[in-house]
């Protein structure tokens, strides 16, 4: 059996002078924001205490000292309320698009993100989430027994559709994970371009692993390792609490670190945003090259006009471009090789694979009454041969999936290197369509009126 298992092993508009700000926007805005967050926290805490006291059925009385545990995962909502959540998402997406593109109001985007944090974050406890819906969609394609809910499907599709037409307005004011990071930005620093590009590869890796684990029915790792879900639900493991606090502390200086360097949903959002026709612009009309916006973006998402040195460099980089283009197939092959070699390790996260290996290496655990996993398996009536066969099938899926994920990462690395020598001529200061969160910070720095 062992051989069988291992076979496939801000302020009002700036007019040229810098105005006094506090954390990037008006002082009273900060007070109102934190007052709102404090009120939301107190309301959730009070609601939690009241709901604990008012149960539909009274607690059973035990003489053994048993204490009834409280559920960590929120219970499913009524269908009408799920549709109401979709309606609220549509409203918030529309409002974010209006504030970013039409009224060009940073204050509007800011207060909308506060509302999003309160409703989709603290009130809805971060569930359902467009980011985590990636896994629901993936599992639908690979498991015929699983049927995705209409709500989860719409939460996945609607932000992508808005992004395709209007840029990443979902990130601006409709995502609670982005909102909670946006409110703690104190003194953002600019990262070197090479570091931005290197860290920007992590979301692709995270997306690859999330799709792999969801496709094999192993786990929903995006939800399991959501760093802010413990803050929204006021309940999480110690590790996730530390991770969430660490990201927020980092976010005081490196703006939105999760959105920029971890979020797997940012990958398709970035792809869609590059093709958006109605994307936010820094200036409402013609750029006057005043350079006031150059340091306005804490996300390093503003592209500067090209200078003569870059034009000369572009002519010299043709040979390097050709070299990088020819090397892309090698990157893909290397990724496939690494994926094939790592599938055994990655598959150990699957419960069936883990249990099969555990019982093969330690058959004496069948007699251990304290091992819950083993005792649950024995109580299921499933034979050891059946478990090993199922684990073998799952490992084969990991073998194929890991190679695809590795090849995808090789392609991403190759294209990223190729983009470092691609020349794009620009005459004005423009937001980078793929990386811009449409937060409207830069528009406050532009003195040009409509």
- The per-residue DSSP string of 372-441 comes to HHHHHHHHTT--HHHHHHHHHHHHHHHHHHHHHHHHHHHHHHHHHHHHTT-----SS-EE-TTT-----T
Average of per-residue pLDDT across 207-232: 95
Q: Is it the case that residue 213 has pLDDT exceeding 80?
A: yes
Average of per-residue pLDDT across 28-57: 47
Same domain, 371 and 435: no
Tell me if 61 is assigned to some domain: no
Q: How far apart are CA 354 and CA 347, in angstroms?
A: 8
Q: How far apart are CA 74 and CA 93, in angstroms?
A: 24
Q: In a 3-state reduction of DSSP, which class is residue 304?
A: coil
Between 267 and 294, the higher pLDDT residue? 267
Same domain, 398 and 289: no
Q: How far apart are CA 151 and CA 132, in angstroms?
A: 12
Number of domains composing the chain: 2
Closest CA to 391 of 430, 435, 358, 426: 358
**How many angstroms from the chain centroid is the CA of residue 345?**
24
Same domain, 294 and 345: no
Tell me if 89 is assigned to some domain: yes
Tell me if 322 is assigned to some domain: yes
Between 76 and 260, the higher pLDDT residue? 260
Which pLDDT band, with edges at 50, 70 and 90, does 373 fall under? confident
Closest CA to 106 of 11, 6, 238, 7: 11
List, as one string, the DSSP characters of 1-41.
-HHHHTTT---SPP-SSPPP-BTTB-HHHHHHHHHHHHHHH
Closest CA to 410 of 331, 338, 336, 343: 331
Kind and range of the H or E element at 246? Answer: helix 238-251
**How many angstroms from the chain centroid is the CA of residue 230?**
15
Tell me if 165 is assigned to some domain: yes
Which pLDDT band, with edges at 50, 70 and 90, does 119 fall under? very high
Tell me if 156 is assigned to some domain: yes
Q: Who's near 142: CB < 8 A, 6+ residues apart?
A: 214, 215, 216, 217
Same domain, 398 and 301: no
Q: Contact 132/175 with Cβ under 8 angstroms?
A: no
Which pLDDT band, with edges at 50, 70 and 90, does 60 fall under? low
Q: How far apart are CA 16 and CA 155, in angstroms?
A: 41
**For residue 276, what are the domain limits?**
27-42+79-305+430-445
Task: Evaluate the omega torsion of the peptide bond into residue 128 and state whether it is cis, within 30 degrees of 0.
Answer: yes
Q: Contact 221/210 with Cβ under 8 angstroms?
A: yes
Q: Is it the case that residue 414 has pLDDT exceeding 60?
A: yes
- Note the pLDDT of residue 172: 96
- Note the pLDDT of residue 67: 64
Q: Is it the case that residue 325 has pLDDT exceeding 50?
A: yes
What does the block give as tokens for 147? 């049927």
What does the block give as tokens for 251? 């976010």
Q: Is it the case that residue 361 has pLDDT exceeding 50?
A: yes
Q: How far apart are CA 408 and CA 263, in angstroms?
A: 17
Flag whether the pTM goes above 0.85: no
Tell me if 194 is assigned to some domain: yes
Closest CA to 403 of 335, 328, 330, 327: 335
Tell me if 12 is assigned to some domain: no
Q: Is it the case that residue 29 has pLDDT exceeding 60?
A: no
Same domain, 295 and 333: no
Q: How far apart are CA 321 and CA 328, in angstroms?
A: 11
| Weakest mean pLDDT among 78-82, 273-277, 362-366, 387-391 | 78-82
Same domain, 337 and 360: yes
The predicted-structure confidence for 122-147, as pLDDT tens digits, reads as follows 999 988 899 999 999 999 999 989 99
Rg of the chain, C-alpha, whole Å: 25
| Weakest mean pLDDT among 137-151, 199-213, 217-231, 312-326 | 312-326
Same domain, 168 and 191: yes
Q: Contact 179/173 with Cβ under 8 angstroms?
A: yes
Tell me if 69 is assigned to some domain: no
Q: How far apart are CA 344 and CA 353, in angstroms?
A: 10
Same domain, 196 and 278: yes
Between 23 and 340, the higher pLDDT residue? 340
Same domain, 333 and 260: no
Same domain, 363 and 230: no
Same domain, 197 and 257: yes
Same domain, 296 and 187: yes
What does the block give as tokens for 27? 């002082």
């Amino acid at each position: 059996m062992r051989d069988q298992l291992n076979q496939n092993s801000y302020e009002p508009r700036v007019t040229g002078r810098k105005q006094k700000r506090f954390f990037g926007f008006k002082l009273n805005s900060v007070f109102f924001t934190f007052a709102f967050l404090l009120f939301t926290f107190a309301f959730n805490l009070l609601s939690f205490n009241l709901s604990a006291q008012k149960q539909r059925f009274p607690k059973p009385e035990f003489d053994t000292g048993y204490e009834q545990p409280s559920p960590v995962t929120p219970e499913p909502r009524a269908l009408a309320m799920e549709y109401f959540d979709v309606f609220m998402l549509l409203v918030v997406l529309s409002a974010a698009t209006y504030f970013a593109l039409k009224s060009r109001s940073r204050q509007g985007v800011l207060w909308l993100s506060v509302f999003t944090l309160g409703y989709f974050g603290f009130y809805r406890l971060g569930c359902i989430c467009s980011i985590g819906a990636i896994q629901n969609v993936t599992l639908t394609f690979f498991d015929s027994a699983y049927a995705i809910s209409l709500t989860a499907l719409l939460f996945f599709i609607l932000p992508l559709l808005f992004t395709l037409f209007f840029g990443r307005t979902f990130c601006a004011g409709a995502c609670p994970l982005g909102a909670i990071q946006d409110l703690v930005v104190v003194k953002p620093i600019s990262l070197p371009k090479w570091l931005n590009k290197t860290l920007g590869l992590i979301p692709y890796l995270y997306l690859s692993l999330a799709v792999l684990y969801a496709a094999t029915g192993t786990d929903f790792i995006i939800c399991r390792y959501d760093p802010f879900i413990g803050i929204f639900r006021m309940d999480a493991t110690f590790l996730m609490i530390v991770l969430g606090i660490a990201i927020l502390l980092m976010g005081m200086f490196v703006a939105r670190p999760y959105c920029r360097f971890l979020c797997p949903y940012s990958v398709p959002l970035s792809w869609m945003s590059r093709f958006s026709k109605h994307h936010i612009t820094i200036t409402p009309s013609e750029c006057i090259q005043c350079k006031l916006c150059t340091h306005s973006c804490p996300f390093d998402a503003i592209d500067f006009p090209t200078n003569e040195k870059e034009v000369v460099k572009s002519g010299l980089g043709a040979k390097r471009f050709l070299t990088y283009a020819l090397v892309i197939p090698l990157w893909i092959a290397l990724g496939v090789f690494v994926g094939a070699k790592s599938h055994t390790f990655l598959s150990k996260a699957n419960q069936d694979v883990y249990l099969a290996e555990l019982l093969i290496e330690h058959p004496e655990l069948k007699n251990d009454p304290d091992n819950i996993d083993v005792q649950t398996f024995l109580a299921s009536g499933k034979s050891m041969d059946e478990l090993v066969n199922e684990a073998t099938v799952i490992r084969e899926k990991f073998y194929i999936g890991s190679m695809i994920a590795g090849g995808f990462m090789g392609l991403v690395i190759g294209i990223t290197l190729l983009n470092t020598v691609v020349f794009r001529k620009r005459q004005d200061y423009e937001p980078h369509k793929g990386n811009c969160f449409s937060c409207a910070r830069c528009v406050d720095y532009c003195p040009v009126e409509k």
